[in-house]
């Protein structure tokens, strides 16, 4: 990268022109073949590239950019590669890996944008260092505890509006199933034990007193609002006490209080809301440790919050257990010198979780969860192979497949939703001879690697492709809700609750954001609702922290990355599975625009 003639005007013009020509492969132009190529947008893109090149290469900052060009190129190649793959998946339902023009375009665009990315990183770093000189002029700190309760109260009151608009709350995402378990005393560990009992018994207890299911749902929703507001207040209080700029904190509070995605899920009964609150606490604590490890372990309250965060993560999503175990293996290597300080709180949190779930599971006779939930990816790959290459199956392979997934179900294959095959998975047959089915899966994968890769990509691209709309449930009716062009949020109150329309205007706004292509029609604003957009924001943040020698701060997001990897193995791309992307936005802003303060 360093040896390329970046300062040669002819080189920059030719490279920019080729990148502008290849951009059509990385943007979603729909069915209009001339939507980009015969448009002034391509010419404007070329002008911006050439102008940016000339400004950057002759500036004083260029010598600092050259040192990080390789890293910037790798990041840019991954980003534009995902954009090209996502556009192809959105338009055609698959990626043609043999189309060399697409990958050449990605290479050229990555080369072109790498210097711009490096300039962005160095500019943000320079901005943070310049602001550091004025740290003494920042506001005088009032007592941190007072600030915590102030933010807690502001956020809780802000969530009263979406609560009233959805009264008694967004009782959805398996909530009906979990409450049914409690009322019938037939429990399954498919859902986290603690969430089933907490949600179900809260509603059952209030119902016995008031004879109203709505009252029970409302009480649970208010309790969850208070808990999540407290998690957010802890995060904002951390930023306040270390002296993060006021405008960064104010934007963070406004985002948490008013942004529809956050508001709707705070008032939603799904276990993912409380789980993401635990991720907020845990990530904030990891940043606090990275800032001053010795000072952290001298505060009893912080130790308690550390254990509480681990307990919440363990208790409210099963994949949190696997991610935490992997994370603490890495954590033990990074912080091995002070293992005596953190090992006991970690073991205590795991021990309390194990005893609690074990005792409650036996007391209420929870039956084990299904194995199918962990096999969504291979099941989708087998179903896609049968749908696209049925003739390549031998008679024996066909019979083996049908003993695992019935033929009638395979014909209903949905590339973006594994539920159709998951719920009809013949688990007993798999358990009786897993080797036979694993051999079938491996043999078909070696025969059709492109189908397997495309199956995984189209089932997950909603998480990493910014320009798409999550629509895996399109046309599907779940409970009383019929999904339209978007599956952004399950806008309903399931039985036994009943929606009361107290704020119909705000309720209708949330409904449009949830089920229709509504906010996506607004340029720029649409990106704030996109999972893929925030995916790349956090990826850029980690790149920025690593390149500016803030590796301990980057390490604080390793756990979030591990959780994200487990989510990619799930049945569908939904916002609720990556809700922490939205909850952690204040930390993202603080680390980008006040890095030195957060790092200490």
- pLDDT value, residue 206: 95
Partners of 515 in beta bridges: none
The C-alpha R_g of the chain, in whole angstroms, comes to 25
Distances (CA, A) of 31 to 28, 92, 517: 9, 10, 18
- Of 74, 224, 235, 76, residue with least CA distance to 148: 235
Whole-angstrom distance, CA of residue 469 vs CA of residue 487: 8
Widest distance between CA atoms in the chain: 80
Q: What 3 state SS string does 184-223 have?
A: HCCCECCCCHHHHHHHHHHHHHHHHHHCCHHHHHHHHHHH
| Angle of CA points 98, 100, 104, to nearest 5° | 150
Helix or strand or coil: residue 429? Answer: helix
- Of 135, 173, 95, residue with least CA distance to 415: 95
Q: How many CB atoms lie within 10 A of CB 405?
A: 23
Q: How many CB atoms lie within 10 A of CB 384?
A: 23
- pLDDT value, residue 32: 59
Helix residue ranges per DSSP H, 292-317: 293-296, 300-316
- pLDDT value, residue 54: 83
- Of 43, 321, 318, residue with least CA distance to 196: 318
Q: Which residues of 111-130 are buried (b: 16+ CB within 10 A; e: fewer)?
A: bbbbbbbbbbbbebbeebee
- pLDDT value, residue 4: 85
Distances (CA, A) of 113 to 77, 119, 355, 370, 378: 9, 10, 53, 46, 36
Helix or strand or coil: residue 367? Answer: strand
Determine whether 450 is exposed, middle or buried from the number of CB atoms within 10 Å of its CB (0-12, 13-18, 19+): middle
Q: What are the DSSP E strand ranges found in 235-361?
A: none
- pLDDT value, residue 31: 58
What are the φ/ψ torsions at residue 417 (nearest 5 degrees)?
Answer: -145, 120
What are the φ/ψ torsions at residue 349 (nearest 5 degrees)?
Answer: -65, -45
Helix or strand or coil: residue 156? Answer: helix
Give pLDDT tens digits along the chain (600 positions): 778 888 888 888 999 899 889 888 888 766 556 777 777 888 888 898 888 888 888 888 888 898 899 999 999 999 999 999 999 998 888 999 998 999 999 999 999 999 999 999 999 988 766 554 444 434 444 467 899 999 999 999 999 999 999 999 999 998 999 999 999 999 988 899 999 999 999 999 999 999 999 999 999 999 999 999 999 999 999 999 999 999 999 999 999 999 999 999 999 999 999 999 999 999 999 999 998 888 888 888 888 999 999 999 999 998 899 999 999 999 998 888 877 788 888 999 999 999 999 999 999 999 987 788 888 999 999 999 999 998 999 999 999 999 999 888 888 889 999 988 888 888 889 999 999 999 999 999 999 999 999 999 999 999 999 999 999 988 887 777 888 889 999 998 998 999 999 999 999 999 999 999 999 889 899 999 999 999 999 999 999 999 999 999 999 999 999 999 999 999 999 999 999 999 999 999 999 999 999 988
Helix residue ranges per DSSP H, 40-168: 40-57, 62-66, 69-92, 100-132, 144-158, 160-165
- pLDDT value, residue 530: 95
Distances (CA, A) of 404 to 384, 429, 534: 14, 6, 37
């Amino acid at each position: 990268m360093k040896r390329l003639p970046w300062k040669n005007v002819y080189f920059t013009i030719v490279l920019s022109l080729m990148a502008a020509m290849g951009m059509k492969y990385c943007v979603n132009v729909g069915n209009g073949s001339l939507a980009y190529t015969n448009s002034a947008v391509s010419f404007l893109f070329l002008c911006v590239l050439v102008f940016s090149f000339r400004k950057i290469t002759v500036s004083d900052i260029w010598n600092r950019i050259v040192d990080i060009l390789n890293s910037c190129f790798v990041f840019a190649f991954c980003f534009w590669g995902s954009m090209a793959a996502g556009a192809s998946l959105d338009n055609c339902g698959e990626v043609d890996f043999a189309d060399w023009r697409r990958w050449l375009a990605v290479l050229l665009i990555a080369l072109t944008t790498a210097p711009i990315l490096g300039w962005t990183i160095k500019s943000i770093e320079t901005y943070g260092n310049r602001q550091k000189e004025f740290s003494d002029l920042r506001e005088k700190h009032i007592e941190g505890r007072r600030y915590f309760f102030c933010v807690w109260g502001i956020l809780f009151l802000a969530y009263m509006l979406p609560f009233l608009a959805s009264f008694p709350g967004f009782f959805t995402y398996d909530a009906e199933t979990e409450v049914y378990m409690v009322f019938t005393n037939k429990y399954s560990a498919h859902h986290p034990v603690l969430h089933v009992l907490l949600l179900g018994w809260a509603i059952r207890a209030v119902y016995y007193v008031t004879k109203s299911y709505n009252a029970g749902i409302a009480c649970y929703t208010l309790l969850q609002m208070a808990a999540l507001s407290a998690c957010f207040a802890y995060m904002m209080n951390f930023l306040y006490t270390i002296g993060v700029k006021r405008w960064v904190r104010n934007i963070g509070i406004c985002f948490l209080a008013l942004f529809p995605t956050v508001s709707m899920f705070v008032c939603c009964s799904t276990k993912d809301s409380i789980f993401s609150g635990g991720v907020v606490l845990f990530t904030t604590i990891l940043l606090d440790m990275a800032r001053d490890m010795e000072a952290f372990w001298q505060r009893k309250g912080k130790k308690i919050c550390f254990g509480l965060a681990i307990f919440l993560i363990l208790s409210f999503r099963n994949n949190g257990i696997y991610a935490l175990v992997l994370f603490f293996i890495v954590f033990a290597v990074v912080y091995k010198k002070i293992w005596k300080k953190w090992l006991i709180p970690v073991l205590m949190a795991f021990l309390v979780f194990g005893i609690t779930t074990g005792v409650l599971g036996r007391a209420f006779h929870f039956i084990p969860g299904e194995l199918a939930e962990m096999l969504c990816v291979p099941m989708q790959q087998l179903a896609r192979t049968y749908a696209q290459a049925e003739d390549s199956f031998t008679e024996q392979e066909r019979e083996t497949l049908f003993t695992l997934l019935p033929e009638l179900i395979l014909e209903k294959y949905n590339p973006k939703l594994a539920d159709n095959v998951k719920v009809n998975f013949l688990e007993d047959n798999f358990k009786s001879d897993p080797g036979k089915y694993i051999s079938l899966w491996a043999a078909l994968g070696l025969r059709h690697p492109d189908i397997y890769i495309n199956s995984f990509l189209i089932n997950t691209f909603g998480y990493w492709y910014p320009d798409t709309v999550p629509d895996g449930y399109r046309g599907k009716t779940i409970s009383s809700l019929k999904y339209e062009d978007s599956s952004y949020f399950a806008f309903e109150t399931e039985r036994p609750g009943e929606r009361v329309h107290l704020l119909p205007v705000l309720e209708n706004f949330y409904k449009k954001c949830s089920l229709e292509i509504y906010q996506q029609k607004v340029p720029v604003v649409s990106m704030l609702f996109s999972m893929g957009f925030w995916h790349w924001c956090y990826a850029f943040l980690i790149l920025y922290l690593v390149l500016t020698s803030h590796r301990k701060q980057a390490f604080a997001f390793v756990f979030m990355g591990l959780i994200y990897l487990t989510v990619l193995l799930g049945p569908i791309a939904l916002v609720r599975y990556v809700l922490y992307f939205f909850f952690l936005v204040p930390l993202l802003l603080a680390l980008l625009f006040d890095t030195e303060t957060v790092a200490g």
